[in-house]
Copies of this chain bind each other. A is one copy, B any other.
């Protein structure tokens, strides 16, 4: 008689669909311009169902981007057999490639997603871990305050430069990579904290 008024999917299938569509939407629109209602409408379900599968908008966002984060972690993992400088160079290349591939997503991420406390903490954590990775590679012991400040600033430099790069697209990726490397060295030099690299 009556056709069903909605299609009933298995939990796994629905979940997969929501993560997939969510990734598409969240990477192509700023976080705060996407309401849960809009997402639900876009997918063709009710908002309540979204909240049945994810406890909050933030959590949904996080899960949605977890695949992306995993890729970031993997691809920027340095080759331990190489000398420190080369490790850094490789990681930077990988990072910039990822940014270039996902320019819009990166832009939206930096520009808007960080405003949500939990997400910002996530990004801060990535930055902090990256800083630690670099500092550990460069120093045996506790790094001096100026070096720590310099590295912290440099990571911000990276985001700023990447945004500018994406915006204008008038320099090569390798140029940007060398710029970033050079600035890092310059920063450590200016911090009177150039470690032994040779």
Contact = CB atoms under 8 A, between A and B. Distances in A.
Instruction: Kindly state the interface size class of chain A when it binds its partner.
Output: 35 or more
Given A114-B120, A156-B156, A185 B183 contact: no
Contacts of A187: 157, 179, 182-183, 186
A156 to B, nearest CB: 3
Given A115-B114, A120-B114, A156-B159, A178 B149 contact: no
A83 interface: no
Total copies of this chain within the assembly: 2
Interface in A22-74: 30-32
Given A111-B120, A120-B114, A168 B148 contact: yes
A198 to B, nearest CB: 19
Interface of A: 30-32, 110-117, 120, 145-146, 148-150, 152-161, 163-165, 168, 170-171, 175-176, 178-179, 181-183, 185-187, 189-191
B120 A145 contact: no
A165 B149 CA distance: 7
Residue with the greatest number of chain B CB neighbours at <10 A, chosen from A111, A163, A183: A183
B182 A186 contact: yes
B179 A146 contact: yes
